[in-house]
Chains A and B, each alone.
Chain A
Amino acid sequence: MKKILIVEDDQAISQSLAIRLKNASYEVNVAPDALSGLEFAMRKPPDLILLDISLPAGNGFGVAERLQSLLSTATPFIFLTASQKPGLRQKAKKLGAAAFFQKPYDGSELLETIRLVLAGERLDEECQVYAI
């Protein structure tokens, strides 16, 4: 069973994500802030990480950067954000994110993207969802 770590401070969002992912037969863990996300990932390296960008005790970019240098194997990560600050998407791309979703995202599209990333398929540009 593939392990997915959700780092998200909004409990309603992380819960809805967890329901979907568990239903799709993933093992799901939730961390509500940057620090516990980092700790959890170190203790029990996941196969994929869903990262909110604005987080208590740090931010999603910081978590991604730290994990890339700390974990022995490259772990794919997908950013989810409600922020529209300019440059976020570019920064995510630079960090090597597998995908970038603007909230509110479409749950089934997110699920499909996760499936493709875990299957090791390279995402075509079209698969990166845009805010409509």
Chain B
Amino acid sequence: MTETPLETKRPTAQSGEKAEAGQKAMTVLVVDDSPTSRMSVTRLLRDEGYRMMIAGDGEEALAMVRAERPDVVITDILMPLMDGYEFARRLRADPLVAQTPIIFHTAGYELEEAQSLADSCGISYVLSKPAQREELRQAIDAVLSETRAPLAPPEESFYRAHRRLLTDKLSEKVIQLEAALAESQKKEIRLQQTIEETIKAERALERSNKDLLHKHEEIQSFYHTVSHELKTPLTSAREFVSIVMDGLAGPLNETQREYLGIARESCNRLRVCINDLMDATRLETGKMTLELQSGSIATVVQKLVAVLGPVAKRKEITLTTRVEDLPDFPFDENRIMQVLVNLLNNALKFTPDGGQVTIAAGAARDYPDHVKVCVKDTGCGLANGDVERIFERLYQVPNENGGGSPGVGLGLYISRELVQCHGGKIWAESELGKGSTFCFVLPKHHPSEAIQVLIVDDEERTRDLMKRSLEREGFQVTTAENGAIALEKMKQRLPDIVITDLMMPKMDGAEMLKQIRESWSLLPVVILTGFPNNDQIKRAMEFSPFTLMAKPCPIAQLIPLILRLSGTKGLHK
């Protein structure tokens, strides 16, 4: 058991207060089980010129008093082995040392009882802990001037009081200990809770990661389901209309045939709408995938004419093709076919009966290593403002009646995005009343070859995985483990696109984006994050544009996104 250690720091005493020079130094024995308490008293009195001795409990102190005969003893009360009362009684009972003055130095709460017990032990001074220098000096002076009558053996009441005091003190100590124990248990529980919370948080992160992946798959499968569910009934509706129109359900009169024709045309428009909506959704959510395979543009143009030739014929439009001999190159045949069908459909739609539409394909003169395809019509043409806006999403050229032409207004938007996914460029040239020419160019080489990608992520595995996957696709890839390193690398060589994590040490994604925007206001940036943190995203928002994608992002989706964002690289005139 130890007394509460309390050390009082006081400046050293002035020389005038010190024990007189030449006079033999008084010896003081300090008895205390608390080293701190012992040291504090010892230091104070040593400064006053006393010779100091120390003992840790009553038994040790008794031995020292007998051997060393100190002039004064200052003792604590509650100590292990032998307490202060017992020590004082034994000392008083030993005739050789019975006259040694004793001062009790004890914690304040027990002072009153200590005083009464002290009287019974022939002790006149009880100091409250921690005693000040002056109090100690006065007490020493006082006890030295006292004369002590021989001590009578203690009465029964002393023992009772002593026992009660000890019991009280003991229970107080026990309470203190229990409180300390409870406190440390609380701390341990808190620690345990923190550990559990950390584990929980880790699990939550894992779960949210899995959830994201799951969500991603769910969205994919939702697209497929919606697409499937819309198209299946449309297929049978259109087919039954056709069957009746073809006379398979009996003869039809002209009015019936006309009405069914309208119904079938509506089905056709619905089909285009569904496909456009699905494609636009795919593009906007970064879920468009390309199947690049070496192929020939001439073949695509042939198929195009096979599909839409009959429409031209119906309108008596002369459809001419001029296709140069070109080597095969990688592109997604279905997607480029889709672009061409859209351009040719528009040309046929806006060209009056008897007009001319020309499809030309060949090497692009203005763009080295590119193939250029143009669809030229002799239709109504476009106003300047419309030429600029025609590829915007949902933009429709207003017709004479102020309304839009039939369609959702997604066709050209999708065409532009699909061409850009290939790393190409699409544009229109037009003169109102004379006709329009829509052209696009596609790179002859794998579109990824010329593209520099900078990957910024603090996780080495992610960096390596992305680097390897993108390099396999032909991209040129550099990596950095945080924003600061990335900015350094960007200053040395500016990439065409930056793909970055958000949470990183040293400099996070949002801060890096801020600094990127200071120098390069339009550099394409993709933020790939596993755990979207609202604050960081909000911060990043101030430095848009950027594209936000959930991690992990399948490489098949990342590629068209990179191509589309960095797509017009080197193609700006």
- The answer to whether A104 and B302 touch across the interface, beta carbons within 8 angstroms, is no
- The answer to whether A12 and B238 touch across the interface, beta carbons within 8 angstroms, is no
Per the bound structure, the CA–CA distance linking A84 and B224 in Å amounts to 7
- Identify which of A54, A84, A107, A130 contacts B242 (C-beta below 8 A): A107
B267 in the interface (beta carbon within 8 A)? yes
- The answer to whether A54 and B228 touch across the interface, beta carbons within 8 angstroms, is yes
A131 in the interface (beta carbon within 8 A)? yes
How many residues of chain A get a CB closer than 8 Å to chain B's CBs? 30
- Identify which of A17, A23, A82, A130 contacts B337 (C-beta below 8 A): A130
- Given the interface contacts A125-B299, A130-B307, A130-B334, does A103 sit within 8 Å of B278 by beta carbon? no
Specify which chain A residues have a CB less than 8 angstroms from the CB of B233 in the assembled complex: 12
Instruction: Please encode chain A, from 63 to 91, with 1 for each CB lying within 8 Å of some chain B CB and 0 for all others.
Output: 00000000000000000001111110110
B227 in the interface (beta carbon within 8 A)? yes
- Given the interface contacts A20-B243, A23-B248, A86-B289, does A13 sit within 8 Å of B307 by beta carbon? no
Per the bound structure, the CA–CA distance linking A103 and B229 in Å amounts to 11
A-B contact pairs, 22 of them (CB 8 A): A12-B240, A16-B236, A16-B240, A20-B243, A23-B248, A82-B227, A83-B224, A83-B227, A84-B224, A86-B556, A89-B334, A103-B231, A103-B234, A104-B238, A106-B242, A107-B239, A125-B303, A129-B307, A130-B337, A131-B334, A132-B271, A132-B272
- Given the interface contacts A10-B232, A20-B248, does A104 sit within 8 Å of B271 by beta carbon? yes
Instruction: Please encode chain A, from 7 to 29, with 1 for each CB lying within 8 Å of some chain B CB and 0 for all others.
Output: 00010110111011001000000
- The answer to whether B243 and A85 touch across the interface, beta carbons within 8 angstroms, is no
Specify which chain A residues have a CB less than 8 angstroms from the CB of B412 in the assembled complex: none
- The answer to whether B232 and A13 touch across the interface, beta carbons within 8 angstroms, is yes
- Identify which of B236, B242, B289, B291 contacts A13 (C-beta below 8 A): B236
- The answer to whether B240 and A103 touch across the interface, beta carbons within 8 angstroms, is no
Using a CB–CB cutoff of 8 Å, the interface residues on chain B facing chain A are 224, 227-228, 231-236, 238-240, 242-243, 246, 248, 267, 271-272, 275, 278, 289, 291, 299, 302-303, 306-307, 334, 337-338, 341, 556
Per the bound structure, the CA–CA distance linking A15 and B240 in Å amounts to 9
- The answer to whether A13 and B337 touch across the interface, beta carbons within 8 angstroms, is no
- The answer to whether A19 and B243 touch across the interface, beta carbons within 8 angstroms, is yes
Per the bound structure, the CA–CA distance linking A13 and B238 in Å amounts to 10
Closest chain A CB from B412 CB (angstroms): 16
Q: A102's closest neighbor in chain B, by CB?
A: B231
Closest chain B CB from A99 CB (angstroms): 14
- Given the interface contacts A84-B224, A130-B307, does A19 sit within 8 Å of B235 by beta carbon? no
- Contacts A16-B236, A130-B338 known; 9 new A-B pairs at CB < 8 A: A13-B235, A16-B240, A19-B248, A86-B556, A103-B234, A104-B231, A104-B234, A104-B271, A130-B334
